[in-house]
């Protein structure tokens, strides 16, 4: 089954949106396989966002991510990478549809509350980076009510 890496950024944690965000993924039917609250350092944040190192907003992005605790999660389910991005909404909250997490809870692109892997390959890389210890191995008893 496909897995994705989801991170509630420091603004989402500070604003008390953790329960709301977890609830949206749970209610959709996805399974939580990994979860931890942690504050990452500069080198780690730069590694996570290495693909964006040439962007003008890179330093500000890294500063934002290391500014407080984040919630790192692994969610599992059919098409969870693509569907997770839909639940999250467009990168710029000004363009995120209402009903998406960013559309409902964010205004500025640099305070957009949440990160989600953009492809299966990047999800594998990010899960390896954030959960080197591995994730939980369990299967929800609700699967017959979620998958046909
Ligand atoms: P994420 O990785 O956080 O899920 O976001 P994304 O794929 O939707 O967007 P990406 O292009 O990978 O950018 C990563 C994060 O950088 C910040 N950003 N700021 N000031 C700007 O123009 C700008 N552009 C991007 C956002 O916080 C974005 O989520």
Rounded to whole angstroms, the Cα distance separating 4 from 13 reads 19
Per-residue pLDDT of 72-91, as tens digits, reads 999 999 999 999 999 999 99
* Whether the CB of 140 sits within 6 Å of ligand 1: no
Its ipTM equals: 0.92
Q: So what's the pLDDT on residue 38?
A: 98
Judge contact between 28 and 87, C-beta under 8 A.
yes
Place of tokens 């509350």: 113
Q: So what's the pLDDT on residue 125?
A: 98
Q: Is 115 a catalytic residue?
A: yes
State in Å: Cα 91 to ligand 1 middle.
6
Does residue 58 sit in helix, strand or coil? helix
70 — phi, psi (to 5°)?
A: -120, 160
């Amino acid at each position: 089954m496909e897995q994705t890496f989801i991170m509630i950024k420091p603004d989402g944690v500070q604003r008390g949106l953790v329960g709301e965000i977890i609830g949206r993924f749970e209610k959709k039917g996805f399974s939580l396989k990994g979860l931890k609250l942690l504050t990452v350092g500069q080198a780690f944040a730069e590694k996570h966002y290495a693909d964006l190192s040439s962007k003008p907003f890179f330093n500000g992005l890294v500063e934002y991510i290391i500014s407080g605790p984040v919630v790192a999660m692994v969610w599992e389910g059919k098409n969870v990478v693509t569907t997770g991005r839909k639940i999250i909404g467009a990168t710029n909250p000004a363009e995120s549809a209402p009903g998406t997490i960013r559309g409902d809870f964010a205004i500025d692109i640099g305070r957009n509350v949440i990160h989600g892997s953009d492809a299966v390959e990047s999800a594998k890389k990010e899960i390896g980076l954030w959960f080197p210890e591995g994730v939980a191995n369990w299967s929800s008893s609700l699967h017959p009510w979620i998958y046909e």
